[in-house]
């Protein structure tokens, strides 16, 4: 037990302090998605009785962050609709199912529309660490305004990033897929799609 306690103490000394929700001292400028700590999901209702959630596994984002006036910040996101992870139980059919979800015209139709994008047009700070980000979502070749509800999680300075700022956020929104021209399997798959993000952005190197 003594050895375990010593090991735990040494590990604690090597880790950065826990991030606090503060903007004090946070650098303004360009931040890039820290992809090893970024998660993006979409959820639809299936048969009206349960939520069906899928992870995007290949997406990128740039954030121009204004720490003094967050409402001046800008966000751009690019998503590969063919890069999906589901909870399909059969490993041999899992890849086949995820490929179908990404490429089939009934679903994300990546063969015709290979990228999903979001570009912010306005940011509003609604609380000390909360706000909304409104922007243009382009999905299935259709562009519609979408508003994300965003929470700021804090800042850290991990030594493995050379003490650069790392800032965390969660965000969510709900869209109607019919507004983007997708109405397939109505009654089986809900029109409403819940999109959720949790992740970190790393201060870009000068």
CATH of the domain at 178: 2.40.128.110
Instruction: Report the chain's mean pLDDT, rounded to a whole number.
Output: 92
pLDDT in tens, 136-173: 999 999 999 999 999 999 999 999 999 999 999 999 99
Where is pLDDT greater, at 13 or 72? Answer: 72
Kindly report, residue by residue over 16-69, the tens digit of the pLDDT.
555 568 999 999 999 999 999 999 999 999 999 999 999 999 999 999 999 999
The share of the chain scoring above pLDDT 90, in percent, equals 89
Full domain range(s) for residue 66: 2-203
Q: How many domains does the chain have?
A: 1
- How high is the pLDDT of residue 21? 87
Q: Supply the pTM of this predicted model.
A: 0.89
Cα–chain center distance at 198: 5
Q: What are the residues facing 134 on neighbouring strands?
A: 122, 147
Give strand ranges (E) for the chain: 29-46, 50-56, 59-65, 74-79, 84-85, 116-125, 130-139, 142-156, 166-176, 192-203
Radius of gyration of the chain (CA): 20
The CA angle 75-178-43, to the nearest 5 degrees, is: 65
């Amino acid at each position: 037990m003594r050895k375990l306690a010593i090991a735990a103490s040494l590990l604690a000394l090597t880790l950065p302090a826990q991030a606090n929700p503060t903007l004090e001292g946070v650098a303004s400028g360009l931040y890039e998605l820290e992809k090893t700590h970024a998660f993006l999901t979409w959820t639809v209702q299936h048969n009206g009785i349960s939520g069906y959630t899928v992870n995007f596994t290949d997406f990128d984002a740039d954030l121009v962050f204004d720490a003094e006036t967050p409402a001046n910040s800008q966000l751009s996101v690019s998503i590969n609709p063919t890069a999906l992870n589901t909870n399909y139980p059969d490993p041999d059919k899992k890849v086949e199912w995820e490929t179908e979800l990404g490429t089939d015209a009934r679903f994300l139709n990546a063969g015709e529309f290979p990228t999903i994008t979001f570009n912010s047009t306005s940011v509003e700070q609604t609380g000390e660490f909360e706000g909304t980000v409104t922007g243009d979502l382009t999905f299935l070749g259709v562009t519609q305004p979408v508003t994300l509800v965003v929470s700021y999680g804090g800042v850290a300075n991990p030594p493995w990033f050379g003490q650069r700022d790392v800032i965390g956020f969660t965000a969510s929104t709900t869209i109607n897929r019919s507004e983007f021209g997708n109405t397939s399997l109505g009654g089986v798959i809900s029109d409403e799609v819940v999109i959720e993000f949790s992740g970190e952005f790393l201060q870009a190197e000068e």
